[in-house]
A and B are shown apart, each in its own frame.
Chain A
Amino acid sequence: MRIRKRHIALIVYFVLLFIPIYWMIITSLKTDNEILKELTFFPHELTFKNYVEIFTNPFWRASFANSLTYVFLNVVITLMVAVPGAYAFSRWKFRGGHHLFFWLLTNRMAPAAVFMVPFTELYYILHLYDTCWAVALAHCLFNIPLAIWILEGFMSGIPREIDETAFIDGYTFPQFFRKVFFPLIGPGIGVTAFFCFTFSWVELILAKALTVTNAKPAVVQLTVGIGAEGVKWGLLAAAGFLTIIPGAIVVYFVRNYMAKGFALGRV
Protein backbone atom coordinates (compact mmCIF):
# COMPACT_ATOMS: atom_id res chain seq x y z
CA MET A 1 0.00 0.00 0.00
CA ARG A 2 2.79 2.40 0.86
CA ILE A 3 4.51 1.73 -2.42
CA ARG A 4 1.33 2.60 -4.29
CA LYS A 5 1.02 5.98 -2.59
CA ARG A 6 4.63 6.77 -3.39
CA HIS A 7 4.15 5.97 -7.05
CA ILE A 8 1.02 8.08 -7.33
CA ALA A 9 2.94 11.03 -5.89
CA LEU A 10 5.69 10.44 -8.42
CA ILE A 11 3.25 10.30 -11.31
CA VAL A 12 1.57 13.52 -10.15
CA TYR A 13 4.98 15.16 -10.02
CA PHE A 14 5.85 14.08 -13.53
CA VAL A 15 2.52 15.33 -14.84
CA LEU A 16 3.16 18.74 -13.28
CA LEU A 17 6.69 18.66 -14.66
CA PHE A 18 5.44 18.11 -18.16
CA ILE A 19 2.58 20.63 -18.28
CA PRO A 20 4.82 23.53 -19.39
CA ILE A 21 6.54 21.31 -21.94
CA TYR A 22 3.18 20.08 -23.24
CA TRP A 23 2.06 23.68 -23.50
CA MET A 24 5.10 24.58 -25.55
CA ILE A 25 4.55 21.68 -27.92
CA ILE A 26 0.87 22.42 -28.56
CA THR A 27 1.64 26.12 -29.00
CA SER A 28 4.17 25.24 -31.67
CA LEU A 29 1.45 23.35 -33.53
CA LYS A 30 -1.13 26.15 -33.42
CA THR A 31 -1.60 28.97 -35.87
CA ASP A 32 -0.71 32.45 -34.62
CA ASN A 33 -4.37 33.39 -34.86
CA GLU A 34 -5.44 30.63 -32.55
CA ILE A 35 -2.70 31.39 -30.00
CA LEU A 36 -3.72 35.03 -29.71
CA LYS A 37 -7.47 34.51 -29.82
CA GLU A 38 -8.20 32.37 -26.79
CA LEU A 39 -7.01 29.69 -24.43
CA THR A 40 -7.19 26.28 -26.08
CA PHE A 41 -5.90 23.06 -24.59
CA PHE A 42 -5.11 21.37 -27.87
CA PRO A 43 -4.65 22.80 -31.37
CA HIS A 44 -7.97 23.07 -33.23
CA GLU A 45 -6.22 23.72 -36.49
CA LEU A 46 -3.08 21.62 -36.60
CA THR A 47 -0.24 23.29 -38.47
CA PHE A 48 3.43 22.50 -39.07
CA LYS A 49 4.06 25.92 -40.57
CA ASN A 50 6.32 26.96 -37.69
CA TYR A 51 8.58 23.96 -38.09
CA VAL A 52 8.73 24.34 -41.85
CA GLU A 53 9.77 27.95 -41.39
CA ILE A 54 12.63 26.95 -39.09
CA PHE A 55 13.87 24.13 -41.28
CA THR A 56 13.84 26.22 -44.45
CA ASN A 57 15.50 29.25 -42.88
CA PRO A 58 19.31 29.06 -43.26
CA PHE A 59 19.86 31.25 -40.17
CA TRP A 60 17.97 28.86 -37.94
CA ARG A 61 19.72 25.83 -39.37
CA ALA A 62 23.14 27.46 -38.95
CA SER A 63 22.34 28.44 -35.39
CA PHE A 64 21.46 24.87 -34.41
CA ALA A 65 24.65 23.64 -36.08
CA ASN A 66 26.67 26.23 -34.13
CA SER A 67 25.10 25.22 -30.83
CA LEU A 68 25.85 21.56 -31.42
CA THR A 69 29.42 22.35 -32.47
CA TYR A 70 30.42 24.32 -29.40
CA VAL A 71 28.65 22.00 -26.99
CA PHE A 72 30.49 19.05 -28.52
CA LEU A 73 33.85 20.87 -28.38
CA ASN A 74 33.19 21.88 -24.80
CA VAL A 75 32.35 18.35 -23.66
CA VAL A 76 35.51 16.97 -25.31
CA ILE A 77 37.81 19.65 -23.88
CA THR A 78 36.23 19.39 -20.43
CA LEU A 79 36.57 15.62 -20.24
CA MET A 80 40.16 15.72 -21.51
CA VAL A 81 41.33 17.98 -18.70
CA ALA A 82 38.87 16.89 -16.00
CA VAL A 83 39.61 13.14 -16.07
CA PRO A 84 43.31 13.50 -15.11
CA GLY A 85 42.44 16.32 -12.71
CA ALA A 86 39.81 14.26 -10.92
CA TYR A 87 42.21 11.31 -10.81
CA ALA A 88 44.78 13.47 -9.02
CA PHE A 89 42.21 14.63 -6.45
CA SER A 90 40.85 11.14 -5.83
CA ARG A 91 44.19 9.34 -5.49
CA TRP A 92 46.59 11.73 -3.77
CA LYS A 93 46.20 13.92 -0.72
CA PHE A 94 48.48 16.86 -1.30
CA ARG A 95 49.07 20.15 0.41
CA GLY A 96 46.37 22.64 -0.45
CA GLY A 97 44.38 20.01 -2.32
CA HIS A 98 41.24 20.49 -0.24
CA HIS A 99 41.28 24.24 -0.80
CA LEU A 100 42.13 23.90 -4.47
CA PHE A 101 39.18 21.56 -4.83
CA PHE A 102 36.83 24.14 -3.33
CA TRP A 103 38.46 26.98 -5.28
CA LEU A 104 37.71 25.14 -8.52
CA LEU A 105 34.03 25.12 -7.71
CA THR A 106 34.04 28.81 -6.81
CA ASN A 107 34.62 29.51 -10.49
CA ARG A 108 31.14 28.25 -11.12
CA MET A 109 29.86 30.99 -8.86
CA ALA A 110 31.10 33.80 -11.05
CA PRO A 111 28.00 35.32 -12.59
CA ALA A 112 28.32 35.23 -16.36
CA ALA A 113 27.26 38.87 -16.36
CA VAL A 114 30.49 39.68 -14.51
CA PHE A 115 32.74 37.95 -17.01
CA MET A 116 30.94 39.13 -20.12
CA VAL A 117 33.11 42.15 -20.85
CA PRO A 118 36.54 40.66 -19.96
CA PHE A 119 35.76 37.53 -21.96
CA THR A 120 34.86 39.58 -24.99
CA GLU A 121 38.20 41.38 -24.76
CA LEU A 122 40.18 38.20 -24.09
CA TYR A 123 38.79 36.28 -27.05
CA TYR A 124 39.12 39.30 -29.26
CA ILE A 125 42.85 39.36 -28.51
CA LEU A 126 43.10 35.61 -29.11
CA HIS A 127 41.33 36.02 -32.49
CA LEU A 128 38.66 33.59 -31.38
CA TYR A 129 35.83 36.08 -31.05
CA ASP A 130 32.66 35.04 -32.90
CA THR A 131 33.78 31.44 -33.34
CA CYS A 132 32.46 28.26 -31.75
CA TRP A 133 35.82 27.82 -30.03
CA ALA A 134 35.32 30.99 -28.01
CA VAL A 135 32.03 29.73 -26.58
CA ALA A 136 33.39 26.22 -26.04
CA LEU A 137 36.37 27.55 -24.08
CA ALA A 138 34.29 30.05 -22.14
CA HIS A 139 31.91 27.32 -21.01
CA CYS A 140 34.87 25.42 -19.58
CA LEU A 141 34.79 28.01 -16.80
CA PHE A 142 31.82 26.31 -15.18
CA ASN A 143 31.98 22.83 -16.70
CA ILE A 144 35.53 21.83 -15.71
CA PRO A 145 34.94 22.35 -11.96
CA LEU A 146 31.64 20.47 -12.11
CA ALA A 147 33.21 17.63 -14.11
CA ILE A 148 36.09 17.33 -11.67
CA TRP A 149 33.71 17.28 -8.69
CA ILE A 150 31.48 14.60 -10.20
CA LEU A 151 34.32 12.45 -11.55
CA GLU A 152 36.22 12.67 -8.27
CA GLY A 153 33.21 11.12 -6.56
CA PHE A 154 33.08 8.27 -9.03
CA MET A 155 36.82 7.65 -8.87
CA SER A 156 36.90 7.70 -5.07
CA GLY A 157 34.28 4.94 -5.21
CA ILE A 158 36.80 2.67 -6.94
CA PRO A 159 39.14 1.05 -4.43
CA ARG A 160 42.76 2.14 -4.63
CA GLU A 161 43.82 -1.50 -4.47
CA ILE A 162 42.75 -1.89 -8.10
CA ASP A 163 45.42 0.62 -9.15
CA GLU A 164 48.05 -1.09 -7.04
CA THR A 165 47.26 -4.58 -8.30
CA ALA A 166 47.45 -3.37 -11.88
CA PHE A 167 50.86 -1.81 -11.33
CA ILE A 168 52.12 -4.98 -9.64
CA ASP A 169 50.86 -6.94 -12.66
CA GLY A 170 53.20 -4.83 -14.74
CA TYR A 171 50.81 -2.43 -16.44
CA THR A 172 52.35 0.91 -17.34
CA PHE A 173 50.26 3.90 -16.37
CA PRO A 174 48.72 4.56 -19.82
CA GLN A 175 47.95 0.84 -20.19
CA PHE A 176 46.34 0.73 -16.77
CA PHE A 177 44.27 3.78 -17.59
CA ARG A 178 43.07 2.45 -20.91
CA LYS A 179 42.48 -1.18 -20.01
CA VAL A 180 41.50 -1.13 -16.36
CA PHE A 181 40.48 2.27 -15.08
CA PHE A 182 38.67 3.70 -18.08
CA PRO A 183 36.15 0.83 -18.40
CA LEU A 184 35.47 1.11 -14.67
CA ILE A 185 34.64 4.82 -14.73
CA GLY A 186 32.90 4.65 -18.13
CA PRO A 187 29.44 5.18 -16.64
CA GLY A 188 30.78 8.06 -14.55
CA ILE A 189 32.13 9.69 -17.67
CA GLY A 190 28.73 9.22 -19.31
CA VAL A 191 27.00 11.01 -16.43
CA THR A 192 29.60 13.78 -16.42
CA ALA A 193 29.27 14.25 -20.16
CA PHE A 194 25.52 14.53 -19.75
CA PHE A 195 25.84 17.28 -17.14
CA CYS A 196 28.45 19.17 -19.20
CA PHE A 197 26.28 18.88 -22.28
CA THR A 198 23.31 20.20 -20.33
CA PHE A 199 25.00 23.20 -18.81
CA SER A 200 26.74 24.22 -22.02
CA TRP A 201 23.58 23.73 -24.04
CA VAL A 202 21.38 25.91 -21.87
CA GLU A 203 23.87 28.73 -21.22
CA LEU A 204 22.85 32.01 -22.76
CA ILE A 205 24.80 35.03 -21.52
CA LEU A 206 28.33 34.05 -22.57
CA ALA A 207 27.12 32.47 -25.79
CA LYS A 208 25.42 35.74 -26.62
CA ALA A 209 28.33 37.97 -25.65
CA LEU A 210 30.94 36.00 -27.60
CA THR A 211 29.15 35.62 -30.91
CA VAL A 212 27.90 38.11 -33.46
CA THR A 213 26.92 36.46 -36.72
CA ASN A 214 29.17 33.58 -37.76
CA ALA A 215 28.78 31.50 -34.64
CA LYS A 216 25.41 32.66 -33.39
CA PRO A 217 23.83 29.76 -31.48
CA ALA A 218 20.19 28.70 -31.32
CA VAL A 219 19.64 30.07 -27.82
CA VAL A 220 20.57 33.55 -29.02
CA GLN A 221 18.62 33.27 -32.25
CA LEU A 222 15.61 32.51 -30.05
CA THR A 223 15.59 35.84 -28.25
CA VAL A 224 15.84 37.77 -31.51
CA GLY A 225 12.15 37.34 -32.27
CA ILE A 226 11.06 38.93 -29.00
CA GLY A 227 10.00 42.50 -28.79
CA ALA A 228 10.24 43.52 -32.43
CA GLU A 229 6.81 43.27 -34.10
CA GLY A 230 4.77 41.40 -31.56
CA VAL A 231 6.00 38.04 -30.34
CA LYS A 232 5.74 35.14 -32.76
CA TRP A 233 4.74 32.63 -30.12
CA GLY A 234 4.26 29.70 -32.47
CA LEU A 235 7.68 30.08 -34.01
CA LEU A 236 9.40 30.55 -30.64
CA ALA A 237 7.64 27.52 -29.20
CA ALA A 238 8.66 25.40 -32.18
CA ALA A 239 12.28 26.55 -31.91
CA GLY A 240 12.18 25.98 -28.16
CA PHE A 241 10.91 22.48 -28.64
CA LEU A 242 13.66 21.80 -31.17
CA THR A 243 16.30 22.91 -28.65
CA ILE A 244 15.22 20.08 -26.36
CA ILE A 245 15.52 17.35 -28.99
CA PRO A 246 19.33 16.96 -29.28
CA GLY A 247 19.53 16.81 -25.51
CA ALA A 248 16.71 14.31 -25.29
CA ILE A 249 18.58 12.11 -27.79
CA VAL A 250 21.72 12.35 -25.64
CA VAL A 251 19.77 11.43 -22.50
CA TYR A 252 18.20 8.51 -24.32
CA PHE A 253 21.62 7.13 -25.24
CA VAL A 254 23.24 7.68 -21.86
CA ARG A 255 20.22 6.56 -19.83
CA ASN A 256 21.69 3.12 -19.15
CA TYR A 257 24.99 4.73 -18.25
CA MET A 258 23.11 7.08 -15.98
CA ALA A 259 21.37 4.25 -14.17
CA LYS A 260 24.59 2.26 -13.93
CA GLY A 261 26.76 5.28 -13.26
CA PHE A 262 24.50 6.50 -10.52
CA ALA A 263 24.56 3.06 -8.95
CA LEU A 264 28.33 3.12 -8.96
CA GLY A 265 29.38 6.42 -7.52
CA ARG A 266 28.41 8.78 -4.80
CA VAL A 267 28.61 11.47 -7.53
Chain B
Amino acid sequence: MKNRAWFFLIPALVLMSISAFVPLMTVINYSLHYIFSGSAPTFVGFENYVEVLRDPTFWGALTRQLCFSLMVLLVEIPLGIMIAMAMPRQGAALAVCLVMLGIPLLIPYNVVGIIWRLFTQASIGVVPGFFRLFDYSYSVALNPVDAPVTIFVLDVWHWTPLVALLSFAGLQAIPDAYYQAAQIDGASTWKTFRYVTLPKLKPVLILAVLLRFMDSFKIYAEPLLLTGGGPGNSTTFFSLHVARKAESYELGYAGAVSIIYLFIVIMFSFVFFQAMTNIGKGEQQ
Protein backbone atom coordinates (compact mmCIF):
# COMPACT_ATOMS: atom_id res chain seq x y z
CA MET B 1 0.00 0.00 0.00
CA LYS B 2 2.74 2.43 0.98
CA ASN B 3 4.57 1.88 -2.29
CA ARG B 4 1.44 2.86 -4.11
CA ALA B 5 1.65 6.31 -2.56
CA TRP B 6 5.03 6.84 -4.17
CA PHE B 7 3.70 5.57 -7.48
CA PHE B 8 1.07 8.31 -7.46
CA LEU B 9 3.63 10.91 -6.51
CA ILE B 10 6.15 10.09 -9.24
CA PRO B 11 4.84 12.46 -11.94
CA ALA B 12 4.74 15.40 -9.54
CA LEU B 13 8.16 14.62 -8.10
CA VAL B 14 9.78 14.22 -11.52
CA LEU B 15 8.45 17.56 -12.71
CA MET B 16 9.34 19.28 -9.46
CA SER B 17 12.87 17.97 -9.51
CA ILE B 18 13.40 19.24 -13.05
CA SER B 19 11.93 22.64 -12.31
CA ALA B 20 13.21 23.01 -8.76
CA PHE B 21 16.16 20.79 -8.02
CA VAL B 22 18.23 21.40 -11.16
CA PRO B 23 18.06 25.21 -10.98
CA LEU B 24 18.74 25.12 -7.24
CA MET B 25 21.92 23.12 -7.79
CA THR B 26 22.96 25.60 -10.48
CA VAL B 27 22.45 28.51 -8.12
CA ILE B 28 24.47 26.83 -5.37
CA ASN B 29 27.20 26.22 -7.91
CA TYR B 30 27.18 29.90 -8.92
CA SER B 31 27.34 31.01 -5.35
CA LEU B 32 30.64 29.23 -4.85
CA HIS B 33 32.32 30.77 -7.88
CA TYR B 34 33.54 34.15 -8.88
CA ILE B 35 31.76 34.87 -12.15
CA PHE B 36 31.99 37.96 -14.20
CA SER B 37 30.74 38.21 -17.76
CA GLY B 38 33.16 36.75 -20.28
CA SER B 39 35.85 35.40 -17.98
CA ALA B 40 35.84 31.75 -16.91
CA PRO B 41 34.38 31.19 -13.42
CA THR B 42 36.88 30.55 -10.66
CA PHE B 43 36.08 28.59 -7.53
CA VAL B 44 36.20 30.86 -4.48
CA GLY B 45 34.45 28.82 -1.77
CA PHE B 46 32.36 30.93 0.60
CA GLU B 47 33.85 34.30 -0.33
CA ASN B 48 30.64 35.41 -2.00
CA TYR B 49 28.72 34.72 1.20
CA VAL B 50 31.18 36.74 3.23
CA GLU B 51 30.87 39.58 0.78
CA VAL B 52 27.06 39.47 0.99
CA LEU B 53 27.04 39.46 4.79
CA ARG B 54 29.37 42.46 4.85
CA ASP B 55 27.23 44.38 2.36
CA PRO B 56 25.07 47.07 4.05
CA THR B 57 22.68 47.19 1.05
CA PHE B 58 21.92 43.50 1.68
CA TRP B 59 21.05 44.14 5.33
CA GLY B 60 18.98 47.17 4.32
CA ALA B 61 16.99 45.13 1.82
CA LEU B 62 16.53 42.30 4.34
CA THR B 63 15.25 44.55 7.15
CA ARG B 64 12.94 46.37 4.78
CA GLN B 65 11.65 43.08 3.44
CA LEU B 66 10.98 41.55 6.85
CA CYS B 67 9.12 44.64 8.08
CA PHE B 68 7.07 44.68 4.92
CA SER B 69 6.18 40.97 5.04
CA LEU B 70 5.19 41.05 8.70
CA MET B 71 3.04 44.14 8.17
CA VAL B 72 1.38 42.43 5.22
CA LEU B 73 0.51 39.41 7.38
CA LEU B 74 -0.72 41.53 10.29
CA VAL B 75 -3.13 43.48 8.11
CA GLU B 76 -4.19 41.08 5.36
CA ILE B 77 -4.99 38.01 7.46
CA PRO B 78 -7.43 39.68 9.93
CA LEU B 79 -8.93 41.82 7.17
CA GLY B 80 -9.41 38.78 4.95
CA ILE B 81 -11.15 36.86 7.74
CA MET B 82 -13.45 39.81 8.45
CA ILE B 83 -14.42 40.11 4.80
CA ALA B 84 -15.05 36.37 4.56
CA MET B 85 -17.29 36.50 7.63
CA ALA B 86 -19.30 39.42 6.25
CA MET B 87 -19.97 37.64 2.96
CA PRO B 88 -23.39 36.17 2.22
CA ARG B 89 -23.56 32.38 2.62
CA GLN B 90 -25.42 31.48 -0.57
CA GLY B 91 -27.36 32.60 -3.58
CA ALA B 92 -26.65 35.12 -6.31
CA ALA B 93 -25.07 37.62 -3.89
CA LEU B 94 -22.45 35.02 -3.02
CA ALA B 95 -21.60 34.40 -6.68
CA VAL B 96 -21.23 38.15 -7.23
CA CYS B 97 -18.94 38.46 -4.19
CA LEU B 98 -16.77 35.54 -5.34
CA VAL B 99 -16.37 36.97 -8.82
CA MET B 100 -15.57 40.44 -7.46
CA LEU B 101 -12.97 39.05 -5.08
CA GLY B 102 -11.46 37.05 -7.92
CA ILE B 103 -10.93 40.01 -10.22
CA PRO B 104 -8.06 41.86 -8.46
CA LEU B 105 -6.20 38.54 -8.21
CA LEU B 106 -6.26 38.24 -11.98
CA ILE B 107 -4.42 41.47 -12.64
CA PRO B 108 -0.80 40.74 -13.56
CA TYR B 109 1.82 42.17 -11.19
CA ASN B 110 3.14 44.64 -13.71
CA VAL B 111 -0.35 45.86 -14.59
CA VAL B 112 -0.88 46.46 -10.88
CA GLY B 113 2.34 48.46 -10.93
CA ILE B 114 1.13 50.43 -13.95
CA ILE B 115 -2.29 51.16 -12.43
CA TRP B 116 -0.74 52.42 -9.22
CA ARG B 117 1.89 54.43 -11.03
CA LEU B 118 -0.87 56.17 -12.94
CA PHE B 119 -2.74 56.51 -9.65
CA THR B 120 0.17 58.24 -7.93
CA GLN B 121 1.60 60.35 -10.78
CA ALA B 122 2.51 63.78 -9.50
CA SER B 123 0.18 66.05 -11.45
CA ILE B 124 -2.36 63.66 -12.98
CA GLY B 125 -2.86 61.02 -10.29
CA VAL B 126 -5.79 60.58 -7.92
CA VAL B 127 -3.75 59.98 -4.75
CA PRO B 128 -1.69 63.19 -4.88
CA GLY B 129 -4.89 65.01 -5.82
CA PHE B 130 -6.60 63.57 -2.76
CA PHE B 131 -3.77 64.55 -0.41
CA ARG B 132 -3.67 68.05 -1.86
CA LEU B 133 -7.03 68.57 -0.14
CA PHE B 134 -5.16 68.17 3.16
CA ASP B 135 -2.21 70.30 2.08
CA TYR B 136 0.08 67.30 2.09
CA SER B 137 2.39 67.07 -0.88
CA TYR B 138 2.38 63.35 -1.53
CA SER B 139 5.03 62.00 -3.87
CA VAL B 140 6.20 58.43 -4.45
CA ALA B 141 9.12 59.67 -6.48
CA LEU B 142 10.59 61.96 -3.82
CA ASN B 143 9.33 60.96 -0.39
CA PRO B 144 11.02 57.85 1.06
CA VAL B 145 8.03 57.24 3.38
CA ASP B 146 5.23 57.64 0.85
CA ALA B 147 6.77 55.12 -1.54
CA PRO B 148 6.90 52.05 0.76
CA VAL B 149 3.53 52.93 2.31
CA THR B 150 2.05 53.03 -1.19
CA ILE B 151 3.55 49.63 -2.00
CA PHE B 152 2.05 48.32 1.21
CA VAL B 153 -1.44 49.66 0.42
CA LEU B 154 -1.08 48.27 -3.09
CA ASP B 155 -0.26 44.82 -1.74
CA VAL B 156 -3.16 44.89 0.72
CA TRP B 157 -5.45 45.93 -2.13
CA HIS B 158 -4.16 43.24 -4.47
CA TRP B 159 -3.93 40.22 -2.15
CA THR B 160 -6.46 40.58 0.69
CA PRO B 161 -9.08 39.04 -1.65
CA LEU B 162 -6.97 35.86 -1.75
CA VAL B 163 -7.04 35.60 2.05
CA ALA B 164 -10.76 36.36 1.97
CA LEU B 165 -11.43 33.62 -0.60
CA LEU B 166 -9.42 31.06 1.34
CA SER B 167 -11.02 32.03 4.67
CA PHE B 168 -14.44 31.87 3.09
CA ALA B 169 -13.72 28.32 1.95
CA GLY B 170 -12.78 27.46 5.51
CA LEU B 171 -15.90 29.08 6.96
CA GLN B 172 -18.14 27.20 4.55
CA ALA B 173 -16.74 23.93 5.79
CA ILE B 174 -17.77 24.54 9.43
CA PRO B 175 -21.01 22.66 10.12
CA ASP B 176 -23.87 24.77 11.51
CA ALA B 177 -24.16 22.38 14.42
CA TYR B 178 -21.07 23.94 16.02
CA TYR B 179 -22.65 27.38 16.03
CA GLN B 180 -25.95 26.05 17.33
CA ALA B 181 -24.12 24.34 20.15
CA ALA B 182 -22.23 27.54 20.95
CA GLN B 183 -25.50 29.49 20.97
CA ILE B 184 -27.12 26.99 23.35
CA ASP B 185 -24.12 27.29 25.63
CA GLY B 186 -24.65 31.05 25.59
CA ALA B 187 -21.25 31.88 24.15
CA SER B 188 -20.65 35.53 23.23
CA THR B 189 -19.91 36.52 19.64
CA TRP B 190 -16.21 36.89 20.46
CA LYS B 191 -16.03 33.57 22.29
CA THR B 192 -17.80 31.79 19.44
CA PHE B 193 -15.27 33.25 17.05
CA ARG B 194 -12.31 32.45 19.31
CA TYR B 195 -13.27 28.89 20.24
CA VAL B 196 -15.33 27.70 17.25
CA THR B 197 -14.48 29.66 14.11
CA LEU B 198 -10.77 30.26 14.57
CA PRO B 199 -9.73 26.67 15.37
CA LYS B 200 -11.81 25.36 12.47
CA LEU B 201 -10.18 27.88 10.14
CA LYS B 202 -6.70 26.79 11.14
CA PRO B 203 -5.78 24.61 8.13
CA VAL B 204 -6.89 27.32 5.73
CA LEU B 205 -5.12 30.02 7.70
CA ILE B 206 -1.89 28.04 7.65
CA LEU B 207 -2.08 28.03 3.87
CA ALA B 208 -3.04 31.72 3.74
CA VAL B 209 -0.22 32.81 6.08
CA LEU B 210 2.37 30.73 4.24
CA LEU B 211 1.25 31.91 0.81
CA ARG B 212 1.11 35.56 1.78
CA PHE B 213 4.46 35.40 3.57
CA MET B 214 6.24 33.74 0.66
CA ASP B 215 4.63 35.83 -2.02
CA SER B 216 5.22 39.10 -0.19
CA PHE B 217 8.87 38.09 -0.02
CA LYS B 218 8.81 37.76 -3.79
CA ILE B 219 7.42 41.23 -4.45
CA TYR B 220 9.27 42.56 -7.47
CA ALA B 221 7.36 44.06 -10.37
CA GLU B 222 5.28 46.52 -8.35
CA PRO B 223 8.12 48.52 -6.75
CA LEU B 224 10.09 48.23 -9.98
CA LEU B 225 7.33 49.85 -11.98
CA LEU B 226 6.23 52.31 -9.34
CA THR B 227 9.58 53.88 -8.53
CA GLY B 228 12.30 51.48 -9.66
CA GLY B 229 13.16 50.72 -6.04
CA GLY B 230 13.53 54.35 -5.01
CA PRO B 231 13.57 57.02 -3.84
CA GLY B 232 16.97 56.12 -2.50
CA ASN B 233 16.60 52.46 -1.64
CA SER B 234 13.33 52.88 0.21
CA THR B 235 11.43 50.32 -1.88
CA THR B 236 14.32 48.05 -2.85
CA PHE B 237 12.91 44.82 -1.48
CA PHE B 238 14.77 41.56 -1.56
CA SER B 239 13.90 40.32 -5.05
CA LEU B 240 14.78 43.67 -6.51
CA HIS B 241 18.19 43.52 -4.84
CA VAL B 242 18.85 40.01 -6.20
CA ALA B 243 17.61 40.88 -9.68
CA ARG B 244 19.84 43.97 -9.84
CA LYS B 245 22.88 41.86 -9.03
CA ALA B 246 21.88 39.13 -11.50
CA GLU B 247 21.21 41.66 -14.22
CA SER B 248 24.63 43.20 -13.79
CA TYR B 249 26.03 39.64 -14.20
CA GLU B 250 27.41 39.43 -10.69
CA LEU B 251 26.15 35.85 -10.67
CA GLY B 252 28.33 34.71 -7.81
CA TYR B 253 27.01 37.40 -5.50
CA ALA B 254 23.45 36.96 -6.77
CA GLY B 255 23.69 33.21 -6.20
CA ALA B 256 24.90 33.68 -2.64
CA VAL B 257 22.13 36.19 -1.84
CA SER B 258 19.61 33.79 -3.36
CA ILE B 259 20.69 30.91 -1.17
CA ILE B 260 20.60 33.10 1.95
CA TYR B 261 17.19 34.36 0.84
CA LEU B 262 15.84 30.82 0.37
CA PHE B 263 17.23 29.82 3.74
CA ILE B 264 15.52 32.76 5.47
CA VAL B 265 12.13 32.20 3.80
CA ILE B 266 12.14 28.45 4.41
CA MET B 267 13.16 28.97 8.03
CA PHE B 268 10.41 31.51 8.71
CA SER B 269 7.80 29.47 6.86
CA PHE B 270 8.77 26.35 8.76
CA VAL B 271 8.43 28.20 12.07
CA PHE B 272 5.00 29.53 11.03
CA PHE B 273 3.98 26.09 9.81
CA GLN B 274 5.06 24.30 13.00
CA ALA B 275 3.69 27.00 15.30
CA MET B 276 0.32 27.14 13.58
CA THR B 277 0.03 23.36 13.34
CA ASN B 278 0.70 23.05 17.06
CA ILE B 279 -1.47 25.95 18.27
CA GLY B 280 -4.70 24.66 19.71
CA LYS B 281 -3.56 21.06 19.81
CA GLY B 282 -3.56 21.25 23.60
CA GLU B 283 -7.02 22.85 23.67
CA GLN B 284 -8.61 20.15 21.60
CA GLN B 285 -7.49 17.36 23.89
A84 touches B26 (CB 8 A): no
Question: Which A residues are in CB contact (< 8 Å) with B239?
Answer: 111-113
Which B residues touch A21, using CB under 8 A?
Answer: 103-104, 107, 115
Residue ID in chain A nearest B242 by CB atoms: A113
By the criterion CB–CB under 8 Å, are B170 and A266 in contact? yes
Q: A89 to nearest B CB, angstroms?
A: 8
- Please give, as numbers and ranges, the residues of chain A lying within 8 Å of B211 by CB-CB distance: 108, 146
Partner of B27, one of A7, A114, A243: A114
- Contact present for A219 and B108 (CB under 8 Å): yes
Residues of the B chain whose Cβ atoms lie less than 8 Å from the Cβ of A243: 106-108, 111
* Contact pick for B98, options A94, A114, A258, CB 8 Å: A258
What residues of B have a CB within 8 angstroms of the CB of A24 in the complex?
A: 111, 115, 118
Return the chain B residue nearest A141 by Cβ: B19
A128 to chain B, nearest CB (A): 11
- Interface segment among A50-58, A98-106, A162-170: the answer is A98-106
Contact, CB under 8 Å: A202 / B108 = yes
Q: Are A118 and B98 in contact (CB under 8 A)?
A: no
For A122, the chain B residues whose CB sits under 8 A away are 18, 22-23, 26
Residue of B nearest to A188 (CB): B169
User: A198, A202, A233 — which one has the most chain B CB atoms within 10 A of its CB?
Assistant: A202
Report yes or no: A265 in contact with B173, Cβ–Cβ below 8 A: yes
For this complex, into which size category does the number of interface residues on chain A fall? 35 or more
A109 at the interface (CB under 8 A from B): yes
Given contacts A223-B110, A256-B95, A266-B204, contact A115 B23 (CB under 8 A): yes
Are A263 and B2 in contact, with the CB atoms below 8 A? no
A201 within 8 A of B: yes
Judged by a CB distance under 8 angstroms, whether B145 is at the interface is no
Contact between chains at B166 and A267 (CB < 8 Å)? yes
Number of interface residues of B (CB under 8 A): 90
Could you say which of B8-16, B41-49, B51-59, B180-188 contacts chain A? B8-16
**Chain B 14-36: CB-based contact to A (< 8 A → 1; otherwise 0):** 01101110111011001000000
> A92-B1, A92-B2, A240-B107 known; A259 and B170 CB under 8 Å?
no
Inter-chain contacts of A255 with B (CB < 8 A): 95, 98-99
Any chain B CB within 8 A of the CB of A87? Answer: yes
Proximity string of chain A (225-267) to chain B, C-beta cutoff 8 Å, 1 when within and 0 when not: 0100000010011011001100110011001101101111111
* Distance to closest chain A CB from B278 (angstroms): 13
**Bound-state Cα–Cα, A156 to B57, Å:** 46
CB distance B125 to A222 under 8 Å? no
Q: How far is the CB of B40 from chain A (nearest CB, A)?
A: 16
Q: When the two chains form their complex, are residues A201 and B266 in contact, meaning their CB atoms are under 8 A apart?
A: no
B68: Cβ under 8 A from any A Cβ: no
B87 within 8 Å of A (CB atoms) = yes
Q: Can you give 12 contacting A-B residue pairs, CB < 8 Å?
A: A10-B87, A81-B15, A85-B13, A88-B9, A104-B16, A113-B258, A114-B254, A119-B19, A137-B18, A141-B19, A198-B106, A264-B172
